[in-house]
């Protein structure tokens, strides 16, 4: 079956602009995670959804970052008034909450965001 997909693959924007990053999880996966990976670093947790609700948004760096998952499937990460420091690869992962792959996170290819 299809894996986790993320669009766009790359996004270049100017400082101060608004961007939306999309994640399509594996069908049937109720848990969805967003991570941010800066150059030369490991991914860092941003937010976790269980179904439609954000169960843990403790990793969001500030109120310019927001994410939604209105129907419990596709999720959108939104960044307002982008800053150069927001430049990174944004990774999405989904996870089944039962079965043999319980707790295993399946990652998408990421969106590379560059803020000029």
Chain residues in the site for other proteins (CB under 8 A): 31, 33, 35, 40-45, 48, 55-56, 58-59, 89, 91, 93, 95, 103-110, 112
* 55, 58, 74 from 13: Cα distances, Å: 29, 26, 23
Please say whether the beta carbons of 21 and 9 come within 8 A: no
Min separation Cβ 45 and other proteins, Å: 4
Nearer to other proteins, 86 or 90 (CB): 90
For residues 9 and 80, which CB has a smaller minimum distance to other proteins in the complex? 9
Smallest separation (angstroms) from other proteins to the CB of 73: 19
How many residues are present in the chain?
Answer: 116
Q: 3-class SS at 73?
A: coil
């Amino acid at each position: 079956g299809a894996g986790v997909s993320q669009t766009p693959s790359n996004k270049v924007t100017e400082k101060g602009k608004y961007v939306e990053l999309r994640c399509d999880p594996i069908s049937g996966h109720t848990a969805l995670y967003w991570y941010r990976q800066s150059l030369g670093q490991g991914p860092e947790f941003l937010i976790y959804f269980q179904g439609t609700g954000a169960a843990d948004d403790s990793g969001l760096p500030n109120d310019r970052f927001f994410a939604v998952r209105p129907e419990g499937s596709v999720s959108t990460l939104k960044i307002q008034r982008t800053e150069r420091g927001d430049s990174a690869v944004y990774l999405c992962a989904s996870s089944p909450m039962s079965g043999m792959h319980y707790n295993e996170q399946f990652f998408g290819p990421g969106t590379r965001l560059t803020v000029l």
